[in-house]
Structure formats: C-alpha cells, structure tokens
Amino acid sequence: MKTETKAVNIDRSIGDFSYDVEYAKDAGVGLSERVVTYISDVKEDPDWVREFRLKGLKTFLEKPLPTHWASKDLEAIDFDKIRYYLAQGTAPKRSWDEVPEDIKRTFERLGIPEQERKFLAGVEAQFDSEAVYSNIKKAVGEQGVIFVGSTEGLKEHPEIFRKWFGKVIPIGDNKFSALNSAVFSGGSFIYVPPGVKVKHPLQAYFRINAENFGQFERTLIIADEGSEVTYMEGCTAPKFNTATLHSAVVELVALKGAKIQYITVQNWSANVFNLVTKRGLAHEDAEIKWIDCNIGSRLTMKYPGVIMKGRKARGEVLSIALANDGQHQDTGAKMIHAADETTSNIISKSISIGTGRATYRGLVHVPKHLKRCKNNTECDALLINSTSRTDTYPAISVRGTGNAVQHEASVSQVSAEQIFYMQQRGLTEAQAMSLSVNGFVNDLVRQFPMEYSVELKRLIELEMEGSVG
C-alpha cells in the first residue's frame, strides 16, 4: 500500500512531532461490537481470542469508572471519540531497511535503531496499533528466546501463550484491563527457556502518532525456570489538542528461580490518559522487579504489582513519577504475599511541579497464615511550588505474627533558599531546579541500568526547563 507524508510538526521536546501517515486498516471512531469484530477480522484472530475480546467489551461496558476513589478527570475521556485500531496492515519487519520510510524516520529520530546497535539484545517498535519492527540478535534467538509481537505470539506459540494469557490479570480486573482485553493490539510476547540468562536488555518502543487515538498494547513475558531477562519499554506521543488514550496490560510470569526486570521510561505528552495495568506472578524463589518512570501524561494511573506465589519469592517496585503543571501522576505498587518467606520492597519517589499532583497508592497484603514475610515501603515526595500537591494512600494489611513490615514516608520541598544558593553558584533557576530534582531521585536512579539513568536525567532536565519561566 502507498503511504504519503504530508506534513511534519516539530516542537521543542523530543517526542513531540508527528508525521502524517495513511492507514490501510482503520476501525473508525468509537467502540462497539462491530469495532471489536473488525479488529479480530484484520488480525485473523483464532476463535478463543474472538471470544476473549467480546467478553472484554461486555465487561468494560458493565463496569463503572472507578471515580469513587480515582480522579474525576477520567470522566473527560470520551470513549465514543477514540479510534481503537490504526495500522498499515503489514507484518512487522525484521530489518529496519524494510520498514516503510515514513515510519522508520520516526524511530530514527527517537534514536531506537542506534540504541539497538549499541546495547540491546532485541527491539520491537510499535507504531499506533501494530508492531512495525521486531528483531532479536541471532545469538539470543538461537538460545530459544522468543521475542515477537503479541499477535504473532498468540498465533505462532499458542501452547505457551494461551496457558498464561489473561491469567495474571483477568479481564475483569478493572475497567481498563477489560477495555484492553476487547481491543488489544501490539505489545510484546517473550519467552525465555529454562536456565537461559539474556545478558542484554530486550526493548520495546511504543509510539502514538495519530490524534484521538487509543493504544492498547498487551505484553506477556514468561521466564521459565532459572532464566533471567530484562525488558525495557519507552513511550512517547506528540502533543495534540485532544485526548489520547494509552491503556496497556502487562503480565509477567517468573517460574521457579527466574528473574524478570521490567523497566519503563514513559514520556507522554500532556494530553495522554495513561491507564495501565501491570502485574507479575513470582513462583518459588523467583524475582520480579518493576522499575517505573512516569513522566508526562494528563493522568497516569498505574500500580505495578507482584503476586509472590511461591516460597521465597521476591517482588520489587522502584518508581519515579514527575507531575508537571496540570498533570496528575496517580501511581504506586501492589504486593500480594501468598507464600512463606516472601519479601517485597517498594521505593517510590514523586515530584510535583506547578499545579502538578502526585498520588501514591500502595497495597501490601500479607495474610495471617504466612510466616517470615517481609515488606519495606518508602515513599518520598518532593514539592517544587506552593501550588504543587502530593497525597499518600498506603494500605498495608499484615496479619499473623511472624511477619515484618516497615513503612517510611516523607514530603520535602525545594526551598527558595536552596535555589538562591545554587543560583549564586552560577546555575540558572531551571538548572538549579533540575539539579535538586535529580538529587532527590539520585539514590534510586543509581539502581537503574546506565543507559536509562542517563535518559531519565535528560528527561528531567527538559521538564524543568519547560516549567521555569
């Protein structure tokens, strides 16, 4: 099919540009059974997936918005005005040379092919609804590692895919997981065979290009016994005047003794509703670690979780949220202890700028019959302006006697004296702010892989530049 580029809009920040692209496959505007069926037809879904989608739609329509506890701003999403599926209708390419030029240049501009050459074991690039590129290094593939888009995963590897799909996060987990179940497209499917330790990270990059669009990727990662894998995802979208919706579902399964590290650095523009459900299931002696950096968006609601199902399983969430003027980062973590000697760790840092608002919600659950479980929770908030806001809602339910939990929370403010001090050393107000913020997250960022800490530092600097007059 033929695509044409008509215009390019460029703005200051890295992700804020879009190219006009013609889509061969377009489900139109609004959500209905017809739209869901259209997606199934285009993707040539097997029957069980068709049923799964329709059940998702039904559940979505039945469930109310969670505004009794969450932001009323959710009501601003007009589900009838969103486009649920947009694609060029071609299979993902294994080589960047085969990716259509108008799409390739978006990713080149975001630096993805370059990063791939430098330090990644594999890359998947999604443009609106579908993966346009997916490739893993030959040596990794030869070890039996599977890294493909979810569409390909469910068709080519049904025996593994179907066993775990929708099991960690059921359709009805929440309204947005139900929506994702109805219209999901794209996302990654990864399987790491027993004992295989993937040395370099696998990366996915999710790019929204179209206006009034909803991106609903679905990622499923299975690390078989004793294996190890690190997955990183980056997300951007251009700045449009109307709302864009990103509602992903990510399920992780770490079998006995396996380790999964899942890293997100999102840099959404300020019109994106980012409502994502992420959860991992850790079997005996397995470890799941979420590193979650939330920058941008109008409203983010995201609480990565770990269900520690097997003895000695470990769960960890390290998160950083930056709420700039007019933004709301509602983030946190869920730790469900379901076996003896399981340990979990939550470290959350949030920064609120201008009228930005950061909310931490944490759930830690240790039932009565368990022994020797441990949880550590630390949540620190930094307020930049007097109009900035932060709230903390920790829910810790620990029953029984042989378990240990500790919770620490702090709120601090960048003081005018601190900024003046730094300005007196020659730093501009924006540089001073950015240094304070980087200092605040520093001990956490040090635990990230180097490439990502550099990226994060740069994103914080960009945010601070934009926020100081």
| H-helix or E-strand spanning residue 411 | strand 404-413
What minimum distance in Å lies between the beta carbon of 349 and another protein? 10
Residue from 174, 436, 453, 467 touching another protein (CB under 8 A): that is 436
Query: In whole angstroms, what is the distance from residue 126 CA to residue 150 CA?
Result: 11
What does 217-239 look like in DSSP terms, one character per residue? -EEEEEE-TT-EEEEEEEEE---
Write the single-letter amino acid at 419. I
Stretch that binds another protein, among 4-12, 90-98, 171-179, 441-449 (CB under 8 A): 441-449
Cβ 436 to another protein, closest distance in Å? 7
For the bound state, the minimum distance from the C-beta of residue 114 to another protein, rounded and expressed in Å, comes to: 21
Give the residue carrying structure tokens 């509703």: 273
Name the minimum Å distance from CB 144 to another protein.
42
Q: How far is the CB of 149 from another protein (least distance, A)?
A: 39
**Nearest distance from residue 433's CB to another protein, in Å?**
11
* Closer Cβ to another protein, 27 or 459, answer by number: 459
| Least spacing, CB of residue 369 vs another protein, in Å | 41
Q: Give the containing element (helix H, strand E) for 391.
A: strand 389-398
Q: Which is nearer to another protein, 121 or 422 (CB)?
A: 422
> Of 374-433, which residues contact another protein (CB under 8 A)?
412, 415-418, 420-429, 431-432
Residue (88 or 319) nearer to another protein, CB: 319
Footprint on residues 28-87 left by another protein (CB under 8 A): none
Q: In this complex, which beta carbon is closest to another protein, that of residue 145 or of residue 414?
A: 414
How far is it, in rounded angstroms, from Cα 98 to Cα 328?
Answer: 39
How large is the greatest C-alpha to C-alpha distance in the chain, in angstroms? 67
245 or 382: whose CB is closer to another protein? Answer: 382
> Cβ 422 to another protein, closest distance in Å?
7
Residue 426: CB atoms within 10 Å = 8
Q: 16-32 burial, b if ≥16 CB within 10 A, otherwise e?
A: bbbbebebebbbeeebe
Beta bridge partners of 364: 335, 396
- Cβ–Cβ under 8 Å, residues 366 and 375: yes
Question: Is 441 one of the binding residues for another protein (CB under 8 A)?
Answer: yes
Q: Which of 28, 326, 402, 439 binds another protein (CB under 8 A)?
A: 439
Tell me phi and psi for residue 448, to 5 degrees: -85, 155
Q: Quote the Cα angle for 230-115-15, to 5°.
A: 100
Binds another protein by CB under 8 A, chosen from 41, 199, 443, 454: 443
Give, as ranges, the residues between 199 and 238 that touch another protein (CB under 8 A).
Answer: none
Give 20 or 378: the residue with its C-beta nearer to another protein.
Answer: 378
Considering CB under 8 A, how many residues would be counted as binding another protein? 25
How many other C-beta atoms are found inside a 10 Å radius of the C-beta of residue 230? 20
Distance CA 49, CA 365 (A): 32
CA 185/CA 131 separation, integer angstroms: 9
Question: Interface residues with another protein (CB under 8 A)?
Answer: 412, 415-418, 420-429, 431-432, 435-436, 438-443
